[in-house]
Amino acid sequence: YKIREDNKESIIILVTQYGDTKAIGHCMSIGGDDFVLKPLDYKMFMLRLSSCIKNYNLRKKNLSKTDRLYKRATHDSLTGIFNRSYFKDKFSTELIENCKNGSVFSIVLFDIDYFKQINDEYGHQKGDEALIGITKLVSKLIRKSDLFFRWGGEEFLILLPGARMEEATRVSEKIRREIEKLKIKGIRKLTASFGVTQCKVDDNQESMFKRVDNSLYLAKLTGRNKVVYNEEIY
């Protein structure tokens, strides 16, 4: 058990003089890969070892394939951050229920301004570079506990566990200013508009998203390159 705990990738073959199936079963259940009986038959031992190595390689290959499939299902292929599908898994009724029980979180929805014009004027490759550049920038500006998602197209969402409206708004304003300073070769200037809201005890998923979406819409409607929270113009 200690060997398996210290080195999860080790291959453990038990060498025992006992034919007691209960003892062997117990040893296998706490981390053994296989066993051979004494007196040791070298050829048999090598066959068992070879079999264990093949099984190990197969397990590793399957795990790698599973990891790749999981990443493909939960991450955006261009930017490498979480995608909308993964958000739906994270933003379950459990989060809303936690809010009703006193937990706090906020969400930020932001959109790159005039992104269609960027694609039309500079080409889709430059548009992709802008998306990647903004993703890298924002990833550096948020906490490790925050979750960052590509919502779709040029739209992004940040989930901030434990953050109240004031903190989420400050973070959004900082990101907005840094995007304004961001230099992407070949593109004159980038800006973004932000909607922010905090969960309320009487919220459901629909009401919270309506509020943050309306806030973003107001930011764009009233001139863009600004932060609006709780559907109010200040």
Task: Report the catalytic residues.
Answer: 154
Question: Could you count the other beta carbons within 10 Å of the beta carbon of residue 12?
Answer: 17
Structure tokens at 83: 């995608």
The CA distance from 98 to 93, in Å, is 9
Is 160 in a helix, a strand, or coil?
strand
The CA distance from 229 to 169, in Å, is 7
3-state SS record for 104-155: CEEEEEEEECCHHHHHHHHCHHHHHHHHHHHHHHHHHHCCCCCEEEEEECCE
The number of helix segments (H) and strand segments (E) in the chain equals 9, 8
The CA distance from 96 to 205, in Å, is 7
Q: Are strands 192-198 and 105-112 parallel, antiparallel or unpaired?
A: antiparallel
Classify the phi-psi angles of 26: left when phi > 0, otherwise alpha if psi is within -120 to 50, otherwise beta. Answer: alpha
